[in-house]
Amino acid sequence: MTTIANNLQQVLGRMAQACTAASRDPASVLLLAVSKTFGADAVTEAVAAGQRDFGENYIQEGVDKIIALRAAEPAVALQWHCIGPIQSNKTRLVAEHFDWVHTVDRLKIAERLSAQRPEHLAPLQICVQVNIDGGATKSGVAPADTLELVRAVAKLPRLVVRGIMSIPDHAPEFEAQRALHAGAKALFDQIAALQEPSLEHFDTLSLGMTADLEAAIHAGSTMVRVGTGIFGGRAYPAA
């Protein structure tokens, strides 16, 4: 078994244990393998180990891997999630290649994604990014403005609003982590409880990474985004 395959099994085991402790069905939480800075060969190893959902922070790097994997694994249906910031000049790449976007925090970006989504592709699945703890340097719409943005995005053609995503500040202990994630879960529940027709597919709470996936699952996450725990530590190029 390769290192990546072994790491995947360990992460899935952590997720299953967290679900059991939280009295949740392990099938209710999806693992998103975050492959930023790792090449297509690493993704291919994860695919061979059974992983099918991948998250990319850097758009051009992600597109290159999407194209490479489609050529190398044409019979395997993968889902590609854009989980990094999107500038206006990158929306076409995202709309043409990705299946999901987790980082919509402005209507302008959503409008461009909708207009540029090719007709032959399924609608783009959208999570609105929320700055749940108010970090001054972080992306995301304020919690008080989230419902307004969700409703506006839901009106756009070629997009389907699936839920919300958040990246709260790091907390060293489980209870502090869970408390941060609980704010996003409360907001998610408030919106889902409205049962508005345009939000019939509102079912996704994208929370948790390698260090805090247990706390996120306890709080109610339906999708955890794990990179280091699967692919190992990253080496970033010098600025």
Token pair listed for 32: 């998103």
pLDDT at position 202, please?
98
Q: Is the pLDDT of residue 138 over 90?
A: no
pLDDT (tens digit per residue) in 24-56? 999 999 999 999 999 999 999 999 999 999 999
One-letter amino acid identity for 188?
F
Closest CA to 4 of 186, 231, 166, 219: 231
* Cα–Cα distance for residue pair 21/218, rounded to 1 Å: 8
Q: Is the pLDDT of residue 236 over 60?
A: no
Q: How far is CA 150 from CA 53, 147, 181, 196, 238, in A?
A: 24, 5, 19, 11, 37
Task: Give the number of C-alpha atoms closer than 13 A to the C-alpha of residue 201, restricted to the C-beta side.
Answer: 11
Closest CA to 107 of 129, 122, 132: 129
CATH of range 3-230; options 3.30.70.360, 2.60.120.10, 3.20.20.10, 2.40.30.10: 3.20.20.10
pLDDT at position 237, please?
54
Q: Is the pLDDT of residue 219 over 90?
A: yes
Q: What is the mean pLDDT of the chain?
A: 94
Non-local (6+) Cβ contacts of 71 within 8 A are: none
Task: Give the 3-state secondary structure of 167-215.
Answer: CCCCCCCHHHHHHHHHHHHHHHHHHHCCCCHHHCCCCEEECCCCCCHHH
pLDDT band with cut points at 50, 70 and 90 for residue 230: very high
pLDDT band with cut points at 50, 70 and 90 for residue 210: very high
Q: Is the pLDDT of residue 238 over 60?
A: no
Taking the alpha carbons of 185, 187, 192, 197 in that order, is the dihedral positive or negative? negative
* Cα–Cα distance for residue pair 90/165, rounded to 1 Å: 20
* Cα–Cα distance for residue pair 118/232, rounded to 1 Å: 35
Across the range 101-122, mean pLDDT stands at 98
pLDDT at position 133, please?
83
pLDDT (tens digit per residue) in 75-86? 899 999 999 999
Across the range 64-79, mean pLDDT stands at 93
Q: Is the pLDDT of residue 107 over 80?
A: yes
pLDDT (tens digit per residue) in 172-202? 899 989 998 999 999 999 999 999 999 999 9
